[in-house]
């Protein structure tokens, strides 16, 4: 199986780019951030403080998260409920950042991620795919962009969904999440030593997709 790991900070465009690249290459796309978002959503629904390590860990026995691929699109199923839209709300983003810092949550989702990779040619994105989840991935890419650029992209996405958040709020949230993700004790966000760094600041979406596609093909084909 060929495994491609794409890591990077919030708002770098990982999901959008990775989904398109996977489609072009005929691989399964695995958005690991969606798994953490699902755990966050479960805790939000049950009024559990997502920063409370013990409280969150206690909910894991009641959580069943699945990734289903319908017509090539990933759907996130939480205890039988399709939460693919709900996990994209801003509060779910912050909850995901909080629960992802909890070792028990990472262990809980670790096996699921590796199992998918062992059975499929896949492109998996997240924060620690190349460093922890798939350290032997065939290709490792660290995708980033300037904070202001990432905030602008996220702001436009939220606007399109009718979200009232301002650009300033989105930028502030993104900076908080960057700090949390890169400073957590367990599996902090950082490039793998053998990853290829790609900065998409100023790029059009299609341009970034092409760069990632070409990089993967070149690496795999030697």
DSSP letters spanning 103-114: HHHHHHHHHHHH
pLDDT at 73: 75
Q: Which residue has the tokens 């009641």?
A: 62
Q: Is the pLDDT of residue 72 over 70?
A: no
Nearest to 63 by CA among 74, 48, 52: 48
At 185, phi and psi to the nearest 5?
-70, -35
Q: Is the pLDDT of residue 78 over 90?
A: yes
**C-alpha dihedral over 20, 24, 25, 26, to 10 degrees?**
90
pTM above 0.95, yes or no: no
pLDDT at 215: 96
Q: Is the pLDDT of residue 156 over 70?
A: yes
């Amino acid at each position: 199986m060929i495994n491609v790991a794409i890591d990077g900070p919030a708002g770098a465009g990982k999901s959008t780019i990775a989904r398109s690249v996977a489609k072009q290459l005929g691989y399964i796309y695995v958005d690991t951030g969606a798994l953490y978002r699902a755990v966050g959503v479960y805790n939000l629904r049950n009024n559990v403080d997502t920063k409370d390590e013990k409280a969150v860990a206690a909910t894991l026995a009641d959580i069943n998260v699945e990734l289903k691929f319908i017509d090539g699109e990933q759907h996130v199923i939480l205890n039988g409920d399709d939460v693919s839209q709900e996990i994209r709300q801003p509060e779910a983003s912050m909850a995901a950042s909080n629960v992802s810092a909890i070792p028990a949550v990472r262990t809980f989702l670790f096996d699921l991620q590796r199992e998918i990779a062992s059975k499929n040619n896949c492109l998996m994105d997240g924060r620690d795919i190349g460093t922890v989840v798939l350290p032997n991935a065939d290709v490792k890419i660290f995708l980033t962009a300037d904070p202001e650029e990432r905030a602008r992209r996220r702001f436009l996405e939220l606007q399109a969904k009718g979200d009232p958040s301002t650009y300033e709020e989105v930028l502030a949230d993104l900076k908080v999440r960057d700090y949390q993700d890169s400073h957590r004790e367990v599996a902090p966000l950082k490039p793998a030593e053998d990853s290829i760094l790609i900065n998409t600041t100023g790029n059009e979406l299609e341009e970034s997709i092409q760069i990632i596609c070409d990089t993967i093909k070149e690496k795999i084909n030697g």
